[in-house]
Amino acid sequence: MTAIPDVESLLARMTAGLSQLLADGSNEDALLVGIHTGGAWLAERLHERLGLRTPLGTLDISFYRDDFSRKGMHPEVRPSRLPLSIEGRPVILVDDVLYTGRTVRAALNELFDYGRPASVRLAVLIERDGRELPVAADVAGHTLTLGRAERIKLRGPDPLRIERSHVDP
């Protein structure tokens, strides 16, 4: 079983990667947006580490999921909060785990309901195998190969920790 680095070291890698992404000046007014819940926790920490001037945004994609009719309503639906217009603005979307790509697809659908951003970049703590949609991270804290019955999840918010588990097929 491959060891997973601790969350703090992965956040440091993400901060370095995002700093490079922001360094070219075209992303100066980028809006950092975290996907609830794990992505929002990470986005808070990254926003602070990066010292961004723009306020932090959050998305709850519950109503945009393609499995909504099968899973039903998540008991903790939160409002999405985009404190600035995304029209023509670079957006950096943050999530905890990139797996199938369906969460990112749902987040993109919701974002575009708010307007047309100049660009959307994706930053994730863990990028794992198993993509079902053509989605890739621009910045990833760690890349991991897991078996189909293995799951990985960020728990938190304080302290943030990564849990690995197995599910019965």
pLDDT digits (tens, 9 = 90+) for 100-139: 999 999 999 999 999 999 999 999 999 999 999 999 999 9
What number is the average pLDDT over the span 17-33?
Answer: 90
pLDDT tens profile 42-99: 999 999 999 999 999 999 998 887 765 555 555 577 889 999 999 999 999 999 999 9
What number is the average pLDDT over the span 144-164?
Answer: 91
Cβ neighbours of residue 9 under 8 Å, at least 6 residues apart? Answer: none
Per-residue pLDDT band for 1 (boundaries 50, 70, 90) equals low
Give the SS3 label for residue 142.
strand
Domains defined for the chain, CATH in brackets: 7-21+29-166 (3.40.50.2020)
d(CA 69, CA 60): 16
The pLDDT of residue 68 = 53
The pLDDT of residue 71 = 53
d(CA 169, CA 156): 27
Cβ contacts of 142-146, under 8 Å, gap ≥ 24: 142/4, 142/5, 142/10, 142/13, 144/2, 144/4, 145/2
Q: Which of 1-5, 84-88, 149-153, 157-161 has the lowest mean pLDDT?
A: 1-5
What number is the average pLDDT over the span 15-26?
Answer: 91
d(CA 141, CA 148): 21
Q: What is the pTM of this model?
A: 0.92
